[in-house]
Amino acid sequence: MIFEEILTACGFSKGELEGGSLHVHTPVDGSRIASLKTDTTADVERAVSASNEAFRQWRRVPAPRRGELVRLLGEELRAEKENLGRLVTLECGKIYQEGLGEVQEMIDICDFAVGLSRQLYGLTIASERPGHAMRETWHPMGVCGVISAFNFPVAVWSWNTAIALVCGNSVLWKPSEKSPLTALACQKIFERAVARFGDAPDNLLQVLVGGRDVGSAMVESKDVAIVSATGSTRMGHTVGVKVAERFGRSILELGGNNAMIVSGSADLEMALRAIVFSAVGTAGQRCTSLRRLIVHESIYDALVPRLKDAYSGLPIGNPLEDGVLVGPLIDADAKGAMQSALDRARAEGGIVHGGEPVQVESCLGASYMAPAIVEMPDQSDVVRHETFAPILYVMKYTELDEAIGMQNAVPQGLSSCIFTTDVREAEEFLSDVGSDCGIANVNIGPSGAEIGGAFGGEKETGGGRESGSDAWKAYMRRQTNTVNYSRELPLAQGIKFDI
Ligand code: UN1
């Protein structure tokens, strides 16, 4: 399918894609596929105010009815799965199978949120006073600003949006300037759900197209109650500080430097498949990508040569084509970052296998790279740094304590895993003295989390949780209610205060 057909199938007209100053290039072959008009900071101000107006109406709609809109969104996404999946591939370069997986993740979170819309449970609390009732209730917050990254251009938005909507919030979306088309396509899909729903307020979802100035204006606005930001630690630091300065609420999902410990008792066949998928899937550009492999010395020589073998046969190429497993990096900057990380790794004593540029026929303007395995003598600086590229640093360990120590000795704390058939090792890894990450798995790679769990991590990953479990609570305000249904006015803590 040629690029224009993919865009047309997603409902874009020629006029929409021309005449603006934001040039969108596809990583597939580097060519320009759109020049979009951008929003100004004045547009952001108007959007924030329209979003607040939408919120004021939406919060009055009963939550299960709000769920109905999200149910319709899920239906529209099911109908558009292939088209949107292909657009994800075109705009961010992940292989089509992963583009489809990303849309499936959107459908899944819609289903989850529909159920949740009838389960925004509070608590009843025992009061210390007679004739008193205490409870905890949850209320809509306001405008939820979503900042999303190019690598999961639509799924992460949908986690935030499906949950924010059932919680009674409105949504303002500032996508990465590298992936605005998928955002605009989602807006079209959302509008179809709104039309079927019938009486939703206008402007429940607005997309803001532009660069940092647009994002900053949204982040700095005190009328944006929640800012949920996914991206680099540097971006998250700026956003987190700005939102904290105005006492807003932020939900941060930032960098990861995810490790796998492969113990001496591991099932190596399973480990091998998990390593390759999590290290080279999405060309190493997931927050959850496997970046560090910590291998028990007893199996190092059995595992690492097989891994190199598997890497040497990886089909690298146009991600729209069947059979390809590794697509391009997002752009030339990403390629440069990968190359300089490999140079640093060599300088720090690493032995690099692979990692060279790959020329893909008829895609010469793009940044295809062979995934790299780097055998490191220890966990040096470059290993502790997240490079958003398919680089897998491999290190040896002797004792499990030491491996867990290495796993935890990085600034990031998103995802982690252990491959072992020893229940003691598995439980130790998951225990209070085990992995310090938000996600810790056994016999599963660090990437590809299901939406049912809370997604996010500690330390420089930012501490936020999105998606499943009770992550919805971050999208609502908690209220403690004490009701006195007696004819007395006893004070708490037994205080006497007679007038
Ligand atoms: C991300 O890279 O920002 O767990 C999200 C995963 C996906 C989500 C990744 N479900 O790999």
Q: What is the pLDDT of residues 165-177, one digit of tens each?
A: 999 999 999 999 9
Q: Cβ distance 350 to 315 under 8 Å? A: no
Which of 278, 455, 467 for a ligand 1 pocket mutation test, highest count of atoms within 8 Å of Cβ?
455
pLDDT, the chain, mean: 98
Task: Please identify, by atom number, the ligand 1 atom nearest to the C-alpha of residue 450.
Answer: 10
Q: What is the pLDDT of residues 110-148, one digit of tens each?
A: 999 999 999 999 999 999 999 999 999 999 999 999 999
CA distance 138 to 156: 23
460 annotated active-site:
no
- ipTM score here? 0.98
Give pTM, 2 decimals: 0.97
Token pair listed for 318? 């146009």
CA distance 224 to 283: 34
User: Rounded to the nearest 5°, which phi and psi values hold at 435?
Assistant: -60, 140
Q: Which residues of 161-192 are buried (b: 16+ CB within 10 A; e: fewer)?
A: bbbbbbbbbbbbbbbbbbbbbbbbbbeebbeb
Per-residue confidence at 394, pLDDT binned at 50, 70, 90?
A: very high
Alpha carbon of 286 to ligand 1 centroid (Å): 6
User: Rounded to the nearest 5°, which phi and psi values hold at 122?
Assistant: -100, -155
User: Rounded to the nearest 5°, which phi and psi values hold at 161?
Assistant: -75, -45
**Is the CB–ligand 1 distance for residue 229 below 6 Å?**
no
Mean pLDDT of 87-102: 98
Predicted pLDDT at 464: 98
CA distance 51 to 225: 11
Predicted pLDDT at 429: 98
Helix (H) or strand (E) holding 454: strand 454-455
Q: What is the pLDDT of residues 423-481, one digit of tens each?
A: 999 999 999 999 999 999 999 999 999 999 999 999 999 999 999 999 999 999 999 99
Q: Whose CA is nearest to atom 3 of ligand 1?
A: 287
CA distance 90 to 112: 28
Better pLDDT: 2 or 401: 401
Predicted pLDDT at 1: 54
Predicted pLDDT at 2: 87
Which of 287, 461, 466 for a ligand 1 pocket mutation test, highest count of atoms within 8 Å of Cβ?
287
Helix (H) or strand (E) holding 450: none
Who contacts 290 (Cβ-Cβ below 8 Å, separation ≥6)?
258, 259, 260, 275, 278, 279, 392, 445, 446, 447
**Is the CB–ligand 1 distance for residue 169 below 6 Å?**
no
**Is the CB–ligand 1 distance for residue 3 below 6 Å?**
no
Q: What is the pLDDT of residues 319-341, one digit of tens each?
A: 999 999 999 999 999 999 999 99
**Of 432, 452, 433, 434, residue with least CA distance to 442:** 434
Residue 299 has pLDDT above 80, yes or no: yes
Residue 352 has pLDDT above 80, yes or no: yes
Q: Whose CA is nearest to atom 1 of ligand 1?
A: 287
**Is the CB–ligand 1 distance for residue 230 below 6 Å?**
yes
Q: How big is the chain by its Cα radius of gyration, in Å?
A: 24
Mean pLDDT of 178-182: 98
